Amino acid sequence: MAGLKIRAAILSVLFLAVFLGAWQLATAPPGATERELTEYEIMMGLGAGSGAGMPAPTEVFGLAWEELSRPFHDSGPNDKGIGLQLMYSVGRVLAGFALAVVVAVPIGFVIGMSPVLNNALNPYIQILKPISPLAWMPLALFTIKDAATSAIFVIFICSIWPMLVNTAFGVASVKRDWLNVARTLELSSLRTALFVILPAAAPTILTGMRISIGISWLVIVAAEMLVGGTGIGYYVWNEWNNLDIAAVIFAIIMIGVVGMLLDAALAQAGRFLRYQE
């Protein structure tokens, strides 16, 4: 199996090299002098002005190095470090996500335990679930009147549904045998919920959380483009307004990396809660 892993790793690196090589070749300027000029212009923030188009990977890496060497600098609203911007975004996602956990897990629990409530609420959940979270934005801005809080609300509203549905499903499909064990031991409803149903449904609930945090991270970028001020979404939009395509590409890569880390963190948590029958 180790051989398989090594071969896969070699192939991975090879793909990357081919991709970067192709990118470099495609964006390479015809002349060496012009290339130097382009770099100079990028340093001055005028790069795209020359009509050079897409930046080469070397430019993106140069910018990445520069940005990552001082990730938390703050020189006014238009020049904040990438680390700082990501922290704003992750903070909003975690706030909205935590709120959604607090609301969705208990409600999902009740829905899962009561088939009547499940059937009664199901039509509303089915209608609310497919609504793009950004559609809530005007309503949020109108009622909350605060842009930052509105962004958190949008995260909350988009991450609540997968958790609600998964919690209800996990709770409803707890094995009858396990509930019978609790009944023959005369456990109270609360103890049954905490010590039998919750651990039995935990892996399903966590799957819902993982879906939710993935969607939240997708949505926060768009939400921050609308709301502005801070965050990685705002950073992307701001750099687009500056026509700094290298910075946009760099931000895109960082969004991917952070999203992967968020997902990995929840996957790791899931490993603790998973059980094998």
Partner 1 sequence: MSLHFIEVENLARTFPQPGRQPPLTVFEHVNFTIEKGEFICVIGHSGCGKSTILNILAGLDAASEGAFVMDGKEVSGPSRDRGVIFQNHSLLPWLSALGNVSFAVRARWPEWSRRQVREHSLSYLKMVGLAGAEHKKPSELSGGMRQRVGIARAFAIEPKLLLMDEPFGALDALTRGVIQDELLEIWGRTHQTVFMITHDVDEAILLADRVMLMTNGPDARIAESVVIDIPRPRDRSAIHQHPEYYTIRNHLVDFLITRSKSLQGRVGGPGQQPRSVNPVRGTGVPDPGGTPRVVGGTG
Residues of this chain that interact with partner 1 (CB under 8 A) are 175, 177-178, 180-181, 183-187, 191, 195-196, 199-200, 202, 273, 275-277
Who contacts 68 (Cβ-Cβ below 8 Å, separation ≥6)? 82, 83
For partner 1, which is the closer residue by CB, 75 or 276? 276
Q: How far apart are CA 192 and CA 196, in angstroms?
A: 5
For partner 1, which is the closer residue by CB, 117 or 187? 187
Q: Could you give the 3-state DSSP secondary structure of residue 80?
A: strand
For partner 1, which is the closer residue by CB, 182 or 220? 182
CA quadruple 23, 29, 31, 32: dihedral positive or negative? negative
Measured in degrees and rounded to the nearest 5, phi and psi for residue 74 equal -135, 100
Compute the least distance from the CB of residue 186 to partner 1, in Å: 5
Q: How far apart are CA 104 and CA 263, in angstroms?
A: 19
The closest of 252, 220, 272, 190 to 87, measured between CA atoms, is 220
Compute the least distance from the CB of residue 209 to partner 1, in Å: 18
C-alpha angle 140-206-179 in degrees, rounded to nearest 5: 120
For partner 1, which is the closer residue by CB, 90 or 198? 198
For partner 1, which is the closer residue by CB, 33 or 184? 184
Compute the least distance from the CB of residue 177 to partner 1, in Å: 4
For partner 1, which is the closer residue by CB, 145 or 176? 176
Burial class from Cβ neighbours inside 10 Å (0-12, 13-18, 19+) for residue 234 reads: buried
Compute the least distance from the CB of residue 268 to partner 1, in Å: 17
113: left (phi over 0), alpha (psi -120 to 50) or beta: alpha
Compute the least distance from the CB of residue 203 to partner 1, in Å: 9
Compute the least distance from the CB of residue 185 to partner 1, in Å: 4
